[in-house]
Amino acid sequence: MKKSAAFVIIIAALACSASAQTKHPFTFEEMMKLKRVGAPQPSPDGKWVVFDCVDVDLESNTRISHLWIVPAQGGESRRLNETPNHEERPRFSPDGKRLIWTSKATDPTQIWMCDFDANAGALSGKPHQVTNLSTGADGAIWTGDGKNIVFVSAVYPDCNDDACNKQRDEELSKSKVKAKIFTRLFYRHWNAFTEFKRSHLFVVEAGVSPADNSADTPARNAGGTPASTTPVARDLTPGDHDVPPFSLGGQDMYSSSPDGQELAYTSNIDEVEATSTNNEIFIVPINNANVEAGVSPAEKGNGTAGGTPASTPKKISTSPGSDSTPLYSPDGKYIAWRSQARAGFESDKQRLLIYERATGKIRDLTEKFDRSVGSFTWAPDSTTIYVSAEDHGESPIYRVSENAQPSEIARVHADDLLFGGNNRLFFSRDSISAPSEIASLDVSTKSAPQFTTHMNEPVLSQIDMQPMESFTFKGAENADVQGFMIKPPGFDPNKKYPLKFLIHGGPQGAWGDDWSYRWNPELFSANGYVSVMINFHGSTGYGQAFTDSISRDWGGKPFVDLMKGLDYVERTYPFIDKTREGALGASYGGYMANWLLGHTDRFKCIVSHDGMFNAESAYGSTEELWFMNWEWGGPPWQNRALYRKFSPHEYAQNFKTPTLVVHGQLDYRLDVSQGFDLFTTLQVRKVPSKMLYFPDEGHWVLKPQNSQLWWKTVTEWVDQWCKAE
């Protein structure tokens, strides 16, 4: 080898070494600096991708979203609308000439619009407000013909107009009496009292931009706000039902036909929604619909928002389980949606059904595909559907068509699938070591997916992120069970490391190669720990039978899997110090943390966040009763033996392990009383314990400074018992 060549190699090696040494462990403050990239919205011509992106300001304790744009082929991302307002959910008009979004320029939020210059990739003219409801507007989509905008607003079902809604809200706000009277269930949901308002779908004419105003076009005030002639929004789904039902995110539960004449939407019209998962798919004409879902005009009372009822929505789904997220094919011949076969089971397999509009025939495209469909989108030619589906810790993209078994086209962790142009599929892609970015692939080739955005490279390039390692062992009933491991920065196999044993929630959830801002394995490992995660019986991505196996067996097979997984890790990896192990879990993971308290002493400490402690009292204090009815085989008075068998509080006499309890006052999924009950029991038992109580958080800790306190408290608790050698 020539001396000059050898010199170059040495210099390169030194540079790589120096680069590795300059990287540092992940910190909470850096996690808050990361930009939270939203779902891609490609322009119809395939040239641009618009998206929202959330910035967190830790000092001011705020999160604000802005609109961004990037060339579809990749390149520099830039702000689309330079405004201090919180803006999200951008959507292109079908012709690509206009853009709508949700803005907090007003309180409550409203829908705004602006012309779009496809050549410059920029807004053209001045944005203007489209809606002006006292109850606000969100979730806007265009109708397929571009003439109307459909959006969501929460209203009182017995109010006939916005003036009534406004008066009711003002009376509630100004009243010095804050007492509430309930006569039925769903008086509170997730983290708020419902006030028995209902989400409804409204439609408003899209009109034209202010620059194109003519005599028959609504005028706009000079400030960009609607003048008094702004078209009145019309309630498409009046009545005492939510349209769409409550959701924690994901694909829209409604869509417009390509010709703009019909709307398909999701609603649950069962008498007691708290015990039902029976969401149904309805279709209704957009231009003359004004009657309650499932109720004929003759049976209707109040609930319209102006106009005369002209047609009854038609129910097209037939499953006793949940049917949701309807999506028309581009040619208008079909509607596809996700469907569950079993009533009352929110974690049943999500099938992909297609409905032929001309004949009413329904077909299951995933009958032989033992995975649940996540996000999905039609190909432009209407012959193929592309879906994401959990599988062994990933969420790959699959191609689905009527006469073929689903085929995998990309092994990534994908969501938010949407086509831009003829063959380019855009999607959100994240991993254990990087939050979501927008990526794409050409479905006509076998080329690998490419990132379209690189919003977080400046921060991530400086951090020592460790890869996720997979392992498999024999768990309960001798089944194969998968686990994952994250080693600490600067890992040395000759050293001994303490262990953080992380337990996922759901319980029908899974650990995998995806990002989390609330339970982040990279951050858990950053201060010198090995993090281990087990996808026990009940986890998703391993077939429906594996997912089903946890129901009515919460403390059975999953506990066996966790203990056998821990045995495997201790036996296989000599760098694990089994004298310094802590167990941490939230939601079902919090339940299992409480179960561990009564069934093993092998952990030095435990963190129980929002965990079920007393199964019987949890039944009466949760809002979604279908969950308890399915998982525990009915209410306690019908199946008391099972409740007592698997309720952690029944084993309090065995509690010895130091435990940190975390709970939020606004957690209506698992009431805060569960946390207080656990902490009281620990204190009476004289078990070393601490409680972190959030009066302003629900099931998730979301406020930036609350999140900072959570990480600090959890880290210090585990360090107190496990860090020192």
pLDDT of 9: 36
Name every residue whose Cβ is closer than 8 Å to that of residue 210 and which is 6 or more positions away in sequence: 125, 126, 128, 220, 224
Give the DSSP letter of residue 395.
Answer: B
CB 658 within 8 A of CB 605: yes
Which token pair is 476?
């309960």
Question: At residue 388, does pLDDT exceed 60?
Answer: yes
pLDDT exceeds cutoff 50 at 487: yes
Residues 510 and 397 grouped into a single domain = no
Residue 490 and residue 613 share a domain: yes
Q: How far, in Å, CA of 390 to CA of 394, rounded? A: 6
In this structure, is residue 208 part of a structural domain?
Answer: no
Closest residue by Cα to residue 159 from 187, 183, 129, 135: 135
Q: Which residue has the higher pLDDT, 324 or 308?
A: 324
679/603 same-domain check: yes
Is residue 283 over pLDDT 60?
Answer: yes
CA atoms of 634 and 629, how far apart (whole Å): 4
Residue 488 belongs to some domain of the structure: yes
User: Is 177 among the domain residues?
Assistant: no
Band (725; pLDDT cuts 50, 70, 90): low
pLDDT band at 685 (very low <50, low <70, confident <90, very high): very high
Q: Is the pLDDT of residue 382 over 70?
A: yes
Q: Are residues 404 and 452 in the same domain?
A: yes
What is the predicted pLDDT for the residue at 492? 97
Least confident piece of the model among 6-20, 110-124, 285-299: 6-20
Residue 264 has pLDDT above 70, yes or no: yes
The mean per-residue pLDDT over the stretch 681-701 comes to 98
> Residue 474 falls within a domain, yes or no?
yes
pTM (2 d.p.): 0.92
What is the helix (H) or strand (E) element at residue 534, kind and residue range? strand 530-535
Residues 660 and 692 placed together within one structural domain of the fold? yes
Is 62's pLDDT higher than 90?
Answer: yes
Expressed as residue numbers, the domain containing 419 is 380-463
The C-alpha atoms of residue 483 and residue 3 are separated, in whole angstroms, by 48
Residues 457 and 468 in one domain: no
> How high is the pLDDT of residue 670?
98
Residue 5 φ/ψ, nearest 5 degrees: -65, -45
Co-location of 437 and 478 in the same domain: no
Check whether 543 has a pLDDT greater than 80. yes
What's the pLDDT at 229? 52
Q: Are residues 611 and 690 in the same domain?
A: yes
Q: Are residues 438 and 548 in the same domain?
A: no
Asked if residue 443 is part of any domain, the answer here is yes
Tokens of 175: 């009243």
pLDDT at residue 15 greater than cutoff 70:
no
Q: How many helices (H) and strands (E) does the chain have?
A: 13, 39
| CATH number for the domain that contains residue 654 | 3.40.50.1820
Band (pLDDT 50/70/90 cuts) for residue 303 is very low
pLDDT of residue 672: 98
Higher pLDDT, 200 or 304: 200
Most confidently predicted of 293-307, 308-322, 438-452, 548-562? 548-562
Q: Tell whether 282 is covered by a domain.
A: no
Quick check: is 600 in a domain? yes
In-domain check, residue 294 = no
Residues 458 and 553 in one domain: no
What does the pLDDT read at residue 21? 60
Question: What torsion do the CA atoms of 427, 432, 435, 440 make, to the nearest 10 degrees?
Answer: -20
561 and 580 part of one domain: yes
Do residue 553 and residue 417 come from a single domain? no
Joined together, the tokens standing for residue 296 give 């004929």
In angstroms, the CA 374 to CA 361 distance is: 23
Tens of pLDDT, residue by residue over 520-542, are 999 999 999 999 999 999 999 99
Instruction: Give SS3 for 295.
Output: coil
pLDDT at residue 305 is higher than 60? no
**How does pLDDT run across 409-464, given as a tens digit for each residue?**
999 999 999 999 889 999 999 999 999 999 999 999 988 999 999 999 999 999 99
Angle formed by the axes of helices 588-599 and 557-572, nearest 10°: 80
Share of the chain above pLDDT 70, in %: 90
Cα dihedral 393→394→398→404 (10° resolution): -20
Average pLDDT, the chain: 92
**Which band of pLDDT confidence, cut at 50, 70 and 90, is reported for residue 45?**
very high
Name the domain boundary from 409, 434, 463: 463
Region of poorest pLDDT, from 17-31, 503-517, 544-558: 17-31
Residue predicted with more confidence, 203 or 16? 203
Check residue 226 and give its pLDDT. 42
Instruction: Give per-residue pLDDT as tens, 563-576.
Output: 999 999 999 999 99
The last residue of one of the domains, among 463, 483, 503, is 463
Q: Out of 275-289, 301-315, 608-622, which region has the weakest mean confidence (pLDDT)?
A: 301-315
The CA distance from 238 to 439, in Å, is: 39
pLDDT tens sequence across 72-121: 999 999 999 999 999 999 999 999 999 999 999 999 999 999 999 999 99
Bigger pLDDT: 571 or 16? 571
What lies within 8 Å, CB to CB, of 511 at 6+ separation is 393, 484, 502, 504, 521, 533, 534, 535, 539
pLDDT at site 5: 41
Domain count within the chain? 2
Give the per-residue pLDDT at 232.
85
Query: In this model, does residue 301 exceed pLDDT 60?
Result: no
Condensed to tens digits (0 to 9), the pLDDT of residues 110-169 reads 999 999 999 999 999 999 999 999 999 999 999 999 999 999 999 999 999 999 999 999
CA atoms within 13 A on the CB side of 134: 13
Intra-chain end-to-end CA distance of the chain, in Å: 48
| Cα gap 289→263, rounded to integer Å | 10
Name the pLDDT band for 407 (thresholds 50, 70, 90): very high
Long-range own/partner contacts, residues 66-69 (CB < 8 A, 24 or more apart): 67/101, 68/455, 69/121, 69/122
Residue 403: pLDDT band by 50, 70, 90 thresholds? confident
Span 549-578, average pLDDT: 98
369 token code pair: 């595909």
Mean pLDDT along residues 276-292: 82
Task: Tell me the percentage of the chain whose pLDDT exceeds 90.
Answer: 88
| Among 444, 463, 482, residue at a domain's last position | 463
Q: Would the CA dihedral through 497, 470, 702, 61 be positive or negative?
A: positive
Model pLDDT, residue 724:
73
Q: What is the average pLDDT across 603-615?
A: 98
Question: Average of pLDDT values for 682-697?
Answer: 98
